[in-house]
Amino acid sequence: LAEKKVLIVYAHQSAGSFSAAAKEAAVEVLKSKDCSVEVSDLYAMKFKATATAEDITGEVKNPEHFRYAEETKLAWDEGRLSADITEEQRKLQEADLVIYQVMHGDQFKHQFPLYWFTVPAILKGWFDRVLTLGFAYTKEKRYSNGIFKKTKALLSFTTGSQETMFSPTGINGDMNVTLWPLQNGILHYCGFQVLAPQIFWAPADAAPEGRSAMLAAWNTRLQGLLDEKPLFFTPMDYFDCESFQLKPENVEKCVKEFGPTAGTHCGKPLPPNNQMKAGV
């Protein structure tokens, strides 16, 4: 069997954090499973977070009205993207599995989780700059027809709040809603098979044995990670190709007690754990 290649995109500043321990566990276990593991440590790399004209070598097509997507598409076609972007694109193209470790630091336990309910700016910048038009998606190749439909991806992160706070009745709201823009709007949009997220609930508030138990569960999951089934997202062909609305026959097929997915719920209650567990 061909060696499986794993890319870990890591966004945390502290080598002594729980986040670093979770990352090291992934590297160790996956290497023991004969995987080739590459880590993009964004803070160590001082990865540039802002998407600007500096990402293109040579002149831009329309400096008076700079449009990042169109200009980087042309630069990608012509091999004129900056070296840091092309290197990350190389890693991504070669990977069978991508783990985004979007860790909320233990030292920030009183802040909102995931850095204000989303990823740290440095990782958002990685998405903005690396997933360029043409390379990661086109109008024709997105969602279930996406360019990366043969590659698996998952989010692995800690929270600063307890799990109960991210429930449908919790003060932070349903975690499935929080995850939808990241998992559907970025990963699935580019075609990735999105695995259930690995969520470490409030490790900063846990006793040492609790944190050890979290890492042990992650180690166990890593053993079979490459064989996991992805989350469900409504296939592209369920939608009308002009209006991009669910076809009437598919509304009837998909919508019962709940809508089909957290985002496309057709006015019905959200399907429980749709963005957190496969096969629900």
pLDDT for the residue numbered 1: 53
Q: Can you tell me the mean pLDDT for 220-242?
A: 96
The lowest-confidence range among 16-25, 122-131, 132-141, 174-183 is 16-25
Predicted TM-score (pTM) of the model is 0.94
Q: Are 198 and 157 in contact (CB under 8 A)?
A: yes
Instruction: Report whether pLDDT(111) > 80.
Output: no
pLDDT for the residue numbered 105: 43
User: Strands 193-194 and 198-200: what pairing?
Assistant: unpaired
- Write out the H or E segment, with its range, that includes residue 225: none
CB neighbour class for 141 (10 Å; exposed up to 12, middle 13-18, buried from 19): middle
pLDDT for the residue numbered 16: 81
Q: Are 12 and 84 in contact (CB under 8 A)?
A: no
> What SS3 state is found at 238?
helix
Q: Can you tell me the mean pLDDT for 201-207?
A: 92
pLDDT for the residue numbered 181: 97
pLDDT digits (tens, 9 = 90+) for 146-188: 999 999 999 999 998 899 999 999 999 999 999 999 999 999 9
107 pLDDT band, cuts 50/70/90, is: very low
User: How high is the mean pLDDT of the chain?
Assistant: 93
Instruction: Report whether pLDDT(114) > 70.
Output: no
Could you tell me the two tokens for 223? 């053993």
pLDDT digits (tens, 9 = 90+) for 232-261: 999 999 999 999 999 999 999 899 999 999
Q: Which residue has the tokens 């508030």?
A: 205
